[in-house]
Amino acid sequence: MALRHAILATLLNEGAASGYDLAKSFDISIAKFWVATPQQLYRELDRLESEGCVEARVVTQEKRPNKRLFTLTEVGLATLAQYTTTTPKQTAIRDDLLVQLQAIDAGDGSTVVANVEERLRGSQEKLAGYQKLRDRILNGRNEPEFFGDAPHVGPYLTLLRGISFEEENIRWCEMTISVLRKRAAVTDSAPGE
């Protein structure tokens, strides 16, 4: 049931958002703490509205389709506060690429290497986006200064986790590529095992 709280937390920090806005920030290629598809969000927003956790205000637009702007209610805020007192689940690792690596002896090594290279590019892009966001949040201050006087630090701390995750991803991808390339070269010239 964390999706609902992830939505409420986003509304808390952003003030107001449409389903479409949320879909962008929960997108797999930019999400920092939770991912969800637009369909999940629209479904959950309907539920949250019917339970009184959020309020929708229809904004009529002329050059764009109308949208429903959602904001937190008192009930939603209380729900979120409640949630922070619960024990979080351990994070489940579910990574297709790691499954492919686990199966590399039975499969096609060169495609797997290509997939690791693709992951590397993805992580570099994600990291670049995170760094930009970080600079925007710091706004000229260094980190100790920021921690000293910023009113809220939650989103910044989750961003830092995202940054180090992608940095590690990059390091690991580079190492993995070089190891697999060397092995491919060896088995090509002297096929043993």
For residue 48, which of 4, 9, 13 has the smallest C-alpha distance? Answer: 4
Helix (H, G, I), strand (E, B) or coil at 55: strand
Q: Exactly one of 33, 42, 83, 165 binds DNA (CB under 7 A); which one?
A: 42
Is the Cβ of residue 58 or residue 92 nearer to a copy of itself in the bound state? Answer: 92
Please state the closest distance from residue 10 (CB atom) to a copy of itself, in A: 7
Q: Exactly one of 8, 19, 126, 130 binds DNA (CB under 7 A); which one?
A: 19
Identify whether the C-beta of residue 159 lies closer than 8 Å to the C-beta of residue 109: no
Is the Cβ of residue 62 or residue 193 nearer to a copy of itself in the bound state? Answer: 193
Query: What distance in Å separates the CA atoms of residue 11 and residue 59, rounded to the nearest whole number?
Result: 17
Is the Cβ of residue 84 or residue 142 nearer to a copy of itself in the bound state? Answer: 84
By CB under 7 A, the count of residues binding DNA is 29
Which is it for the CA torsion 26, 16, 54, 161, positive or negative?
positive
Contact call for residue 3 and DNA (CB under 7 A): yes
Contact call for residue 1 and DNA (CB under 7 A): yes
Terminal Cα distance for the chain, rounded: 48
Is the Cβ of residue 140 or residue 151 nearer to a copy of itself in the bound state? Answer: 151
Contact call for residue 63 and DNA (CB under 7 A): yes
Query: What distance in Å separates the CA atoms of residue 101 and residue 88, rounded to the nearest whole number?
Result: 29
Name the segment binding DNA (CB under 7 A); options: 20-28, 116-124, 130-138, 155-163: 20-28
Query: What distance in Å separates the CA atoms of residue 74 and residue 94, rounded to the nearest whole number?
Result: 36
Q: Which two tokens stand for residue 51?
A: 């339970």
The residues that touch DNA, with contacts defined as CB under 7 A, are 1-3, 18-21, 23-24, 35-40, 42-43, 45-46, 61, 63-68, 89, 92, 94
